[in-house]
A and B are shown apart, each in its own frame.
Chain A
Amino acid sequence: MNKKRILIVDDEPDVLMLTSLRLEKHGYEILTAANGRDAFESIRNEKPDLVLLDLIIPITYGTEICRRVKNDENLRHIPIILYTAHDEVMTDEKAKKAGADDYIAKPFNAEELLNKIERLLTTPAAL
């Protein structure tokens, strides 16, 4: 069976490395990006099965990337989980506005993150 491919976008190298390790051990194939521009290119070219997207990243913020992806006919089916260390309430609103499929706060609980990913990968994308 094909491994599901997940793109992780985070400008903190440590967080990127540890999260990648966690998801790899769980059986996912991992792609990474450290800024908004690389993230969007990767989404467009690689069409991952899911994107884990940090909000505060260089070049273009995560919310803007999310909006662009959801406005793109060919890309909007890709589920996006926003994750950030930012203030919870503000992020929740931003996440909804940007059209993200889910949201998780840092520092996150690995089990919770894995559950959310699993759920979004098994449910067919909302129309």
Chain B
Amino acid sequence: MGAKNTSGKRPASAVEKSANDTSQYAWDITERTNAQEAVLNILEDLQEAKVFLETSIASFHNIVAKSIDGIVVVDKTGIVQFTNPAAETFLEHQAKELAGQLFGFPLKADQITEIDIIRYNKEPGTAEMRVVETLWNDQPAWLALLRDVTDRKETEEKLKEMMKIKSEFTAIVSHELRTPLTSIKEGIALVLDGLAGDINGEQAELLGIAKKNVDRLARLINDILDFQKLDSRMMKFNFETNNINEIVKDVYKTMVSSAKKAELDIILELDNSLPKCSFDSDKITQVLTNLVVNAMKFTKRGNITIKTGRSSNSIRVSVSDTGCGIKKGNMSKIFNKFEQLDCSGERKTGGTGLGLAISREIIEQHNGTIWVESKFGKGSIFTFTLPVCDTEGLLKKYINNGIKKASKNNTKMSLILISFADFDKLKQEFSNNEINSTLKDMEAVLENNLHRAENKPPRAVDNVFKLRNEIFVVLADCDKENALRAKSRLEQVLNNYLSDKNLADKIKILWGCAAYPDDAAADEDLVRKARELQLTIPSGVSV
């Protein structure tokens, strides 16, 4: 016919002529035909879209209808707008009964609530309900999803029940085994101690054997129960920050006399610059004692050396002996339960065989490692590690947390830095230990005085850190003015401490105070600024 009319506008003068009109004009109906075609296209598109939409809706509807989790939409006034078939089953009502009614369960976004439901098998059960915010017909509404967790809860209950039975069993066993043992032990002891009349040498010897074995039985029961507790993670540890060298010295004191009797020397090689770490003193003492007892058992002559040291992130303790060592083939078994060896490599009796197994459990539950190096005929070295308290990392974390909170809430945080003036001169006059001990005292004094107001406890967000030879005081949510006030109060407290110890003329303290965001925006810069300002704030000046 001709090219499509693209101009769009119909000439104002266009008029149609009827079919009988045979005048000479043939009107150009290209435009009209094109328009009609366009409309037909649009109608076709609309039809296609309608089909697509209906199929889509049907598909999604299918998903919602077939879901075994219940789906409920509730408007913000608490009225049910939609329920799927699963929800109908759970809530024991049909959709049309539920629509327009109050939902009745508490609705809080992102919370999980447990509700009672009727399961598919018509039995009562429990469902977990998760609620999220959504839109329904463009209005804010709640979407509640209900999941049947009845089976899971049953399993959880059974597990709790079994744990309870296990711990009751442990308690009963310990009681029932130890009670008759008490009478046996005391009965023998009374006769051996001569309290039932004099006894002759042979009687003493026989009773001595009985006593030794009663004690061994008692230890065995203790070890088994210990191991049972450790194994099921029921052992409670009492973690406290401590110096491992103290533990070593205590064990030495306990073992030195029996070592002397066995003609063995215990040598201590302790690293005195070790940082503190967090551990259960009693349990670690138990481990170290076990290692020393083993060393003594397997060493006929020579020394037992206990060494402490540091390696990157951990503290290392090793017990080495000049004993008979361990055969290569037995090395992998040595930490196993009930594994006992003697110097000929044969199975030995006399111990419980649980000492190293228990020690390994204790060390591993401290997040440490324990291992042995040995040469058969030469000796063994048992080593264990304990993770160190990372003060520097902790300090950085606290400062950064303070900065984050301050920037979020548009407030400030402050850092006070306390150092010794003329530190090199100080090191000449005092030993490392003396300086360290003074710093620890100062840290304690500052911690005790960190409260903001009279009779108010210190805030958990403020903290004192002793790092190397300085002390950092982190004051969260505190502007410079208040920090300087705190600083002058703490200064008074510290000066009192120094004069009480007669150190006031020997030790001069430098104070620096920097605030975020005024002085710096990052943790390192804050520390650096505080250090710079140490030289500008004269001691004793209060704000």
Asked if B453 is at the interface (CB within 8 A of a chain A CB), the reply is: no
Q: B174 and A86: CB pair below 8 A?
A: yes
**How close is A100's CB to chain B, nearest CB, in angstroms?**
18
Query: Chain B: residues with CB nearer than 8 A to chain A?
Result: 170-171, 174-187, 189-190, 193, 195, 214, 218, 225, 229, 235-236
Which of B179, B181, B218 has the most C-beta atoms of chain A within 10 angstroms of its own C-beta?
A: B179
Using known A-B contacts A21-B190, A22-B190, determine if residue A107 contacts B175 with beta carbons closer than 8 Å.
Answer: no
B182 partner, pick from A25, A85, A87, A89, beta carbons under 8 A? A85
* Chain B residue, CB-CB nearest to A13: B183
In the assembly, what is the distance between CA of A86 and CA of B176, in Å?
Answer: 9
Query: Chain A: residues with CB nearer than 8 A to chain B?
Result: 12, 14-15, 18-19, 21-22, 25, 56, 84-87, 89-90, 105-108, 110
In the assembly, what is the distance between CA of A108 and CA of B170, in Å?
Answer: 20
* 9 residue pairs, one from A and one from B, having the closest CB atoms: A85-B178, A14-B183, A107-B182, A18-B186, A106-B182, A107-B185, A25-B195, A85-B175, A107-B181
Using known A-B contacts A18-B190, A107-B218, determine if residue A89 contacts B236 with beta carbons closer than 8 Å.
Answer: yes
A107 partner, pick from B186, B190, B193, beta carbons under 8 A? B186
In the assembly, what is the distance between CA of A99 and CA of B220, in Å?
Answer: 30
Contacts of B195 in A (CB 8 A): 21-22, 25
Contacts of B181 in A (CB 8 A): 106-107
In the assembly, what is the distance between CA of A85 and CA of B178, in Å?
Answer: 6
Using known A-B contacts A87-B170, A107-B218, determine if residue A18 contacts B179 with beta carbons closer than 8 Å.
Answer: no
Contacts of B193 in A (CB 8 A): 110
Contacts of B178 in A (CB 8 A): 85, 105-107
In the assembly, what is the distance between CA of A14 and CA of B181, in Å?
Answer: 11
Contacts of A106 in B (CB 8 A): 178-179, 181-182
Q: B186 and A22: CB pair below 8 A?
A: yes
In the assembly, what is the distance between CA of A15 and CA of B177, in Å?
Answer: 13
**How close is B378's CB to chain A, nearest CB, in angstroms?**
38
In the assembly, what is the distance between CA of A15 and CA of B182, in Å?
Answer: 7
**How close is A30's CB to chain B, nearest CB, in angstroms?**
14
* Chain B residue, CB-CB nearest to A90: B171
Contacts of B177 in A (CB 8 A): 85
**How close is A15's CB to chain B, nearest CB, in angstroms?**
5
**How close is A111's CB to chain B, nearest CB, in angstroms?**
9
**How close is A87's CB to chain B, nearest CB, in angstroms?**
5
In the assembly, what is the distance between CA of A66 and CA of B193, in Å?
Answer: 32
In the assembly, what is the distance between CA of A12 and CA of B178, in Å?
Answer: 12
B189 partner, pick from A15, A87, A110, beta carbons under 8 A? A110
In the assembly, what is the distance between CA of A110 and CA of B190, in Å?
Answer: 9
Q: A12 and B189: CB pair below 8 A?
A: no
In the assembly, what is the distance between CA of A85 and CA of B171, in Å?
Answer: 9
**How close is A24's CB to chain B, nearest CB, in angstroms?**
9
* Chain B residue, CB-CB nearest to A89: B236
A87 partner, pick from B171, B179, B186, B214, beta carbons under 8 A? B171
* Chain A residue, CB-CB nearest to B187: A18
**How close is B51's CB to chain A, nearest CB, in angstroms?**
72
**How close is B219's CB to chain A, nearest CB, in angstroms?**
11
What are 9 contact pairs spanning A and B, CB under 8 A? A14-B180, A14-B183, A15-B183, A85-B176, A85-B182, A90-B171, A106-B178, A106-B181, A108-B182
**How close is B542's CB to chain A, nearest CB, in angstroms?**
42
Contacts of B186 in A (CB 8 A): 15, 18-19, 22, 107-108, 110
In the assembly, what is the distance between CA of A43 and CA of B229, in Å?
Answer: 36
**How close is A62's CB to chain B, nearest CB, in angstroms?**
13
**How close is B227's CB to chain A, nearest CB, in angstroms?**
13
**How close is A53's CB to chain B, nearest CB, in angstroms?**
15
In the assembly, what is the distance between CA of A25 and CA of B197, in Å?
Answer: 11
In the assembly, what is the distance between CA of A107 and CA of B236, in Å?
Answer: 22
In the assembly, what is the distance between CA of A119 and CA of B218, in Å?
Answer: 26
* Chain A residue, CB-CB nearest to B174: A87
Q: A15 and B179: CB pair below 8 A?
A: yes
**How close is B173's CB to chain A, nearest CB, in angstroms?**
9
In the assembly, what is the distance between CA of A62 and CA of B229, in Å?
Answer: 24
Contacts of A15 in B (CB 8 A): 179, 182-183, 186
Contacts of B179 in A (CB 8 A): 12, 15, 85, 106
In the assembly, what is the distance between CA of A105 and CA of B174, in Å?
Answer: 11
Contacts of A90 in B (CB 8 A): 171
A12 partner, pick from B183, B187, B218, beta carbons under 8 A? B183
Contacts of B235 in A (CB 8 A): 89
Given A15-B179, A15-B183, A85-B177, 4 additional A-B pairs, CB 8 A: A22-B186, A87-B174, A89-B229, A106-B179
B225 partner, pick from A12, A18, A25, A87, beta carbons under 8 A? A87
In the assembly, what is the distance between CA of A25 and CA of B193, in Å?
Answer: 11
**How close is A27's CB to chain B, nearest CB, in angstroms?**
12
Contacts of A84 in B (CB 8 A): 175
Contacts of B180 in A (CB 8 A): 14
In the assembly, what is the distance between CA of A56 and CA of B175, in Å?
Answer: 9
Contacts of B187 in A (CB 8 A): 14, 18
In the assembly, what is the distance between CA of A105 and CA of B181, in Å?
Answer: 12
* Chain B residue, CB-CB nearest to A16: B183
In the assembly, what is the distance between CA of A52 and CA of B179, in Å?
Answer: 16
**How close is B182's CB to chain A, nearest CB, in angstroms?**
4
* Chain B residue, CB-CB nearest to A84: B175
**How close is B189's CB to chain A, nearest CB, in angstroms?**
5
Q: A18 and B183: CB pair below 8 A?
A: yes
Contacts of A19 in B (CB 8 A): 186
* Chain A residue, CB-CB nearest to B171: A87
Contacts of A110 in B (CB 8 A): 186, 189, 193
Contacts of B214 in A (CB 8 A): 107
**How close is B231's CB to chain A, nearest CB, in angstroms?**
15
Contacts of A56 in B (CB 8 A): 175
In the assembly, what is the distance between CA of A19 and CA of B187, in Å?
Answer: 9
In the assembly, what is the distance between CA of A125 and CA of B87, in Å?
Answer: 68
**How close is A12's CB to chain B, nearest CB, in angstroms?**
6
* Chain A residue, CB-CB nearest to B178: A85
In the assembly, what is the distance between CA of A66 and CA of B385, in Å?
Answer: 42
In the assembly, what is the distance between CA of A27 and CA of B491, in Å?
Answer: 60
